[in-house]
Amino acid sequence: MDKLLEILRENSSFTTKELSLMLGEPEDYITAQIKEYEQTGVIKGYQAIIDFDKVPDAGVTAIIDLKVTPERETGFDSIATKIMSFEEVRTLYLMAGSYDFAVIVNGETMQDVASFVARKISCVDGVVATATHFMLKTYKLGGVSLVDEDSTDRRSMVL
Amino acid sequence: MIDYQNFINDKISSVKPSGIRKFFDIAVEMDNVISLSIGEPDFQTPWHIREAGIVSLERGKTWYSPNRGFIELRKAICDYYKRRFNVEYNPDSQVLVTVGGSEGIDLCLRSVVSEGDEVLIPQPAFVCYEPLTTMAGGRPVIIETRQENNFRLLPEEIEQAVTDKTKALVLPFPNNPTGAIMERGDLEKIAEVIIKHNLFVISDEIYGELTYGGKHHVSIAEIDGMKERTLVVSGFSKSYAMTGWRLGYVLGPKEIIDHITKLHQYGIMSSPTTAQYAAIEALKNGDNDVAMMRDDYDIRRRLIVGKLNEIGLTCFEPLGAFYTFPCIRSTGLSSDEFATRLVQEKRVAVVPGTAFGECGEGYVRISYAQSLKNIKTALKRIEEFVEELKSEG
């Protein structure tokens, strides 16, 4: 993968100047490259990596495995379009394996998520079965460790 | 009252403890310090290498190894060295597996140096060569490398330092702390002088895998006529992020390795068994890990060098290891003052250049074995520090 994308994927806050130093390319080139990525939709946007365990009232997150019956004409895509339109849904993947969609949802409480599954997701045409898993703790997110590193590990000053 | 001084060996008594200690103690007491002072990779040992160590333990391989190290590892080292640096060694007789490169350096010096011999040591350099030469009964003769020569060692500098007592040259490249490397042309010129004066070379190549800008490390042992008068010291710590495993090796002529092996045998017995199993895996399947880490270091190196020059701390381009060695004279501070005030006022720890020899005055060592995020923050703090110094006038 392009080095520029690799860097931005973990930390999009580097300035063009810094990126140009790091990659040994002129600033113009970096600017043009990023612009191209944005225009072609490779880069869709820029988000912060947030440790929600540290945010009060951040609510709960669940992953819902979904089995569906694909529709004759449109396969999985039209079902996906319906599911992703719910604002509770943060992330949606089509999967290979024992179920079809992985749906990541946010809710204020477990009851919220439960009722979302029962009243909304399950009622979408084609949905056959659901299995809801609640997330307890996030250790790593988007390539970044959320665990506070034990600073005593690397105290030795070796010359 | 016992006068312990009577019981202390004169030589060890004359050796100074590393001056960096007190400075480090200050840094440890503080919170929120970003350390760019560390001389080891920030990466953990790649998992498959750790796993090889774990599997060996699960299988109960907990005994001593042969004194020289497992033959499988010695073969892997020779294959690797031939593949990467194009010098061939015999795994039966020309390799010794040591407890880190550090033991290797100690053994080489103690095996080569006799009482009163002079050993040429380029500085700035890693801190151990001088005291270990002293302990071996030798006399360290310092050659100061210069920024205007990109901190490379020049043949005429060796010529000037050679006397009829000179026995050996320590060749520490890629260099800690400067990041300097020696290219083939540089080495060929040096080899002439070494052969002319019948010297021996201890080539510390622990950073041999970490070179940048399209440069590949060349060992002096590859230069015509040098293999038979060179001891190569290297190891797994820096290239495979295996510092805590303590494993290195020495390559050289059988006639010397045999003697070095005696020292190792009596002093150490054998290198750690678990680490040896891990190292076999590293040499056989670790090339991608090394390349990945080198790429990451390279990105950080460019960022740090570019930024430091922009801030006004002029920095020659390091092409090896994972250190930059910027000149801080423009701030009007000494190395020690710069490092002490930087950690006290801005919570960034770097090492004063003087820790690597007197000629390191006017420089600090900044390690980029640290995450990009921390490097970015640290550079910002260094910039503020330098700006504030300017306005102090």
Judge: A157–B302 Cβ closer than 8 Å, yes or no: no
pLDDT digits (tens, 9 = 90+) for B324-360: 999 999 999 999 999 999 999 999 999 999 999 999 9
Q: What's the rounded mean pLDDT across residues B261-267?
A: 97
Q: What's the rounded mean pLDDT across residues A73-82?
A: 91
Q: Give the model's confidence band at B26: pLDDT under 50 very low, under 70 low, under 90 confident, else very high.
A: confident
Residue B24: the pLDDT is 72
Q: What's the rounded mean pLDDT across residues A134-142?
A: 91
In a domain, A144, yes or no: no
- At position B338, the amino acid (one-letter code) is F
Rounded to whole angstroms, the Cα distance separating A127 from A131 reads 12
Instruction: State whether A82 and A117 are in the same domain.
Output: yes
Structural domain count, chain A: 2
Residue B237 contacts residue B266 (beta carbons within 8 Å): no
* Residue A48 burial (CB count, 10 A): 7
Residues in chain A within 8 Å Cβ distance of B131: none
Residue A142: the pLDDT is 84
- The SS3 assignment for B203 reads strand
Instruction: State whether A61 and A99 are in the same domain.
Output: yes
End-to-end CA distance of chain B: 54
Instruction: State whether A59 and A111 are in the same domain.
Output: yes
Closest by Cβ to B24, choosing from A14, A21, A157? A157
Q: Give the model's confidence band at B188: pLDDT under 50 very low, under 70 low, under 90 confident, else very high.
A: very high
pLDDT exceeds 70 at position B368: yes
Instruction: State whether A132 and A56 are in the same domain.
Output: yes
Best CA proximity match to B51, nearest among B272, B274, B290: B274
Q: Which residues contact B349 (CB under 8 A, 6 or more apart)?
A: B24, B27, B33, B34, B35, B36, B37, B339, B342, B343
Q: Which domain holds residue A28?
A: 3-39
Q: Which of A8, A22, A145, A156 best probes binding to B when mutated, by most B CB atoms within 10 angstroms? A: A22
Q: At B16, phi and psi to the nearest 5?
A: -85, 140
Share the mean pLDDT of chain A.
Answer: 90
Residue B345 contacts residue B28 (beta carbons within 8 Å): no
In a domain, A91, yes or no: yes
Residue B21: the pLDDT is 67
How far apart, in Å, are the Cα atoms of B37 and each of A45, A63, B20, B220?
Answer: 36, 43, 10, 29
Q: Give the model's confidence band at A74: pLDDT under 50 very low, under 70 low, under 90 confident, else very high.
A: confident
Q: What's the rounded mean pLDDT across residues B128-134?
A: 96
Instruction: State whether A72 and A127 are in the same domain.
Output: yes
pLDDT exceeds 80 at position B393: no
Q: Which residues contact B113 (CB under 8 A, 6 or more apart)?
A: B119, B133, B136, B137, B138, B167, B168
Residue B12: the pLDDT is 93
Q: Give the model's confidence band at A149: pLDDT under 50 very low, under 70 low, under 90 confident, else very high.
A: low
Q: Between A and B, how many CB-CB pairs are < 8 A?
A: 51
Instruction: State whether A31 and A83 are in the same domain.
Output: no
In a domain, A116, yes or no: yes
Q: What's the rounded mean pLDDT across residues B178-192?
A: 98
Please give the angle made by the CA atoms of B320, B109 and B142, to the nearest 5 degrees. Answer: 60
Q: Which of B44, B126, B127, B302 best probes binding to A when mutated, by most A CB atoms within 10 angstroms? A: B302
In a domain, A155, yes or no: no
pLDDT exceeds 90 at position A37: yes
pLDDT digits (tens, 9 = 90+) for B268-298: 999 999 999 999 999 999 999 999 999 999 9
Q: Give the model's confidence band at B99: pLDDT under 50 very low, under 70 low, under 90 confident, else very high.
A: very high
- Report the gap between the CA of A57 and the closest CA in chain B (Å): 28
pLDDT exceeds 90 at position B205: yes
Residue A151: the pLDDT is 52
Instruction: State whether A24 and A84 are in the same domain.
Output: no
Instruction: State whether A58 and A129 are in the same domain.
Output: yes
Two tokens, residue B248:
């290195």
pLDDT exceeds 70 at position B301: yes
Share the mean pLDDT of chain B.
Answer: 95
Rounded to whole angstroms, the Cα distance separating B140 from B292 reads 38
Residue A156: the pLDDT is 54
B377 touches chain A (CB under 8 A): no
Judge: B126–A159 Cβ closer than 8 Å, yes or no: yes
Q: Which of B18, B319, B356, B371 best probes binding to A when mutated, by most A CB atoms within 10 angstroms? A: B371
Q: ipTM of this complex > 0.85?
A: no
pLDDT exceeds 70 at position B316: yes
Judge: B356–A158 Cβ closer than 8 Å, yes or no: no
Residue B192 contacts residue B198 (beta carbons within 8 Å): no
Instruction: State whether A113 and A81 are in the same domain.
Output: yes
- Pick the residue from chain B with its C-alpha nearest to A155: B28
pLDDT digits (tens, 9 = 90+) for A48-58: 888 988 898 88
In a domain, A109, yes or no: yes
Instruction: State whether A31 and A75 are in the same domain.
Output: no
- Pick the residue from chain A with its C-alpha nearest to B40: A158
In a domain, A104, yes or no: yes
Residues in chain A within 8 Å Cβ distance of B243: 158
pLDDT digits (tens, 9 = 90+) for A85-124: 999 999 999 999 999 999 999 999 999 999 999 999 999 9
B20 touches chain A (CB under 8 A): yes
Instruction: State whether A28 and A90 are in the same domain.
Output: no
Judge: B303–A155 Cβ closer than 8 Å, yes or no: no
pLDDT exceeds 80 at position B150: yes
Q: Which residue has the tokens 């001084």?
A: B5
Please give the angle made by the CA atoms of A73, A92 and A80, to the nearest 5 degrees. Answer: 20
Q: Could you tell me the domains of chain B?
A: 7-44+288-388 (3.90.1150.10), 47-286 (3.40.640.10)
- Pick the residue from chain B with its C-alpha nearest to A25: B302
B176 touches chain A (CB under 8 A): yes
Q: What's the rounded mean pLDDT across residues B104-120?
A: 98
Residue B361 contacts residue B353 (beta carbons within 8 Å): yes
Q: Give the model's confidence band at B46: pLDDT under 50 very low, under 70 low, under 90 confident, else very high.
A: very high
In a domain, A158, yes or no: no
Rounded to whole angstroms, the Cα distance separating B131 from B170 reads 13
Rounded to whole angstroms, the Cα distance separating A88 from A103 reads 10
In a domain, A28, yes or no: yes
Residue A145: the pLDDT is 85
The CATH code of the domain that includes A63 is 3.30.70.920
* Residue B154 burial (CB count, 10 A): 17
Instruction: State whether A32 and A56 are in the same domain.
Output: no
